[in-house]
Chain A
Amino acid sequence: MAGNAGPIPAAAGIGLRTRHMPTLANQDTGTALTVPWLEIHSENFLCAGGPRRAMIAAIAERYPLSCHGVGLSLGSAEGLDQGHLERLATLYGWLNPGLVSEHLSWSVTGGDYLNDLLPLPYTPTTLDTVCRNVDRAQSAFGRAILVENPSAYLTFPASTMREADFLNALVTRAGCGLLLDVNNIYVTATNTCDGGDVLDSARAYIDEVPPKAVGEIHLAGHSITGGDDDRVLIDTHSTLVCEDVWTLYRYAVARLGPRPTLIEWDLDVPELPVLLGEAVQAQAILSTHENGGGRRVA
């Protein structure tokens, strides 16, 4: 087992991207370029060997690690891919991550992997499918997972449930936790806005999720596209966290209490100090909460 750096603290971490791996794998103790915890995309580490595996082994010795799956496709109608499930289970057995998470979305159909987090219609039968898939994943991993709310560019008229209600039902039935992505709430609220106030609708969403189930929060930047007639936020993870999302994050922390919080940045990934700067901002918000930031001393 490679990972032994312990559970994920209720502090602000960053998503680990390949360009920063050599720095974090080889750094001296006492460096300023450090962070309470890191999150990886699980699928980037399914390779048999080589430098990437060697670096993550070194990093997992030093940092609490969260594993964020991007390809399991919990919303696939045809169920989960057994081979992929087993490869992930082996990876988690090796890295011993503090948290394991996936998405309320789908990306596999007919065995083709579409490399995006695609939207689901929220219906009782979709709920059956997702519950069955979450159950199977949790059995394979031998642990509960967190399921992340997606960003969406469209909704389906077939949906009969609101997303927050769907997540509540999922938590109750499948016994999973939630990964609350505040940027995704904002992006989806904007893109599917029916004319109401986006911030109000995002706050209402945060009010509706079961607080105890939220095991982690994600923050990220998005980009803006489209004209006046169809302004769309794209969940690119390519910029700084925007002011509205910071506002919603403060609201979420006040309501939920401090939770492990992650800065995600996937496209045009900046230098490490920029990411750490974003984490420091999140940490400041966590620390103002009465229970403090939860930063580990040891």
Chain B
Amino acid sequence: MRMGVDAVLLELQREFRAAVLGTDDGVLGIQVAAPRGIAAARIEIYRNTVQASLAEVLAAAFPAVQRIVGPAFFDALARMFIAAEPPRAPQLSIYGSAFPAFITVASQEHHLPYLPDVARLEWARSESYFAADAPQLDPAELTRHGERIGEACFHLHSAARLIRSSFPIVTIWEMNQPENAEVPHIDMSMGESALVSRPGMHVVTRRISEGDADLIEALANGAALGTAAEAALSREPGFDLQQALEQHLRHGTFSGAQ
């Protein structure tokens, strides 16, 4: 068997990539066994399959973004993203992590400044769905710590994600669910934090208070519960730690505490 890379094949594959990711209808360095007009039409079939299938993957991961901007604009954004940042692995469940950042400029141009954060929330939901399995922290385990609970460090569950925004992203996301026809009153000056988790294999998105978000952020950074609670209270004097913890335990925010 001859070793080494087939340079001719490599060059053909590079040319083909440019053809299917690009928008140029004039073909190419590729020699195709067909008259020129037909060759272009046939390359177009591959280009369409590649771009449409990947756009569909993005639409499935970012349904609220698609609903906000409409299918045609979303498709245009998706195709720009595909050309600029094609998948780096044949695993489509991880394709789209860079999409929220990619749409920042277009979102500003179209006066939809909250769009990247809604996309970040949707990506967090997608990551949560595919994340590693882990047990949920059992409330009984907390009683083991007794009075020293304040010294306990909590481990965030592998499927838990905190998304903070200066826009009301959870409300916007809720408004753009297919089953939701009502448009609530919405105060665009109010930022919101979303906590995504996966209790019982079901991805849930909760709006949590800013104090609660500080708590989770501090715990995620390794702070003990007492220190994290102080951070929450200094942000939000009325913060109810007991109630917040109950909600987190019910929704599987943590996998353990020690």
Q: How many residues of B contact A (CB 8 A)?
A: 53
Task: Answer whether A116 and B49 are a contact pair too, CB < 8 Å, given A108-B90, A129-B6.
Answer: yes
Digitize B17-54: 1 where CB-to-A-CB distance is under 8 Å, 0 elsewhere: 10011000000001111100011011101100110011
Q: Which of B96-104, B126-134, B136-144, B180-188 contacts A (4 or more CB under 8 A)?
A: B126-134
Digitize B94-134: 1 where CB-to-A-CB distance is under 8 Å, 0 elsewhere: 00000000000000000000000000000000001111111
Contact A154 B42 (CB under 8 A): yes
Contact B132 A77 (CB under 8 A): no
* B239 at interface by CB-CB < 8 Å: no
Q: Which of B8-16, B146-154, B214-222, B245-253 contacts A (4 or more CB under 8 A)?
A: B8-16
Contact B91 A153 (CB under 8 A): no
Contact A115 B201 (CB under 8 A): no
Contact B198 A50 (CB under 8 A): yes
Complex: how many Å from CA A153 to CA B42?
6
Contact B31 A157 (CB under 8 A): yes
Question: Which residues of A are found within 8 Å of B134, using beta-carbon distances?
Answer: 49
Q: Give the residue among B6, B32, B202 with the most A Cβ atoms within 10 A.
A: B6
- Chain B's nearest CB lies how many Å from the CB of A73? 7
Complex: how many Å from CA A49 to CA B252?
15
* B158 at interface by CB-CB < 8 Å: yes
Contact B33 A155 (CB under 8 A): yes
Q: Which among A54, A120, A154 is the interface contact of B33 at CB below 8 angstroms?
A: A154
Complex: how many Å from CA A1 to CA B77?
42
Can you sample 10 A-B contacts with CB below 8 Å? Answer: A49-B158, A52-B129, A52-B130, A71-B90, A77-B7, A114-B86, A115-B54, A115-B90, A120-B9, A232-B45
Give 10 A-B pairs besides A87-B91, A234-B45 with Cβ atoms closer than 8 angstroms. Answer: A49-B134, A50-B133, A108-B90, A113-B86, A113-B89, A114-B50, A115-B53, A153-B45, A154-B33, A154-B43
